[in-house]
Amino acid sequence: MTSELKSLIEQIGAKSRQLHQSLVAERERVRSMTDEINRLNAEISEFQDQKKSLEHELRDLKTELSQVREQVQVQPVSTNTVEIDVLVKEIDFCIQQLKIANE
């Protein structure tokens, strides 16, 4: 019976050492995963900051585009007005020349 007890004690000791090694390995795996989670959370935060920055830049560019479109639409009207003024002056000049020629 003594040899049986020694055998059981040795088996329990071996299982205990095996469980301890498994526990240490599992703790290391959990620590590694925690580090990876922290790294990924930091990366997510960085991407979110980049997203906010890009959204802000996009808003600014849309505003700028809208302003440029408004200017482009306004410019042809003013250009047409200038062209009309030039044509009116040319017509007046031609009328004056005709008056002079007919006198």
Buried b / exposed e over 14-24, threshold 16 CB at 10 Å, is eeeeeeeeeee
Residue 18 has pLDDT above 80, yes or no: yes
Residue 74: CA atoms inside 13 Å, Cβ hemisphere, count?
Answer: 6
Chain CA centroid to CA 92, Å: 59
Q: Which residue has the higher pLDDT, 81 or 55?
A: 55
Q: Which amino acid is at 51?
A: K
Q: Residue range 65-82: average pLDDT? A: 75
Residue 77 has pLDDT above 60, yes or no: no
| Type and span of the H or E element at 17 | helix 2-102
Lowest mean pLDDT among 22-26, 56-60, 82-86: 82-86
Q: Residue range 91-101: average pLDDT? A: 88
Q: What is the pLDDT of residues 25-40, one digit of tens each?
A: 999 999 999 999 999 9
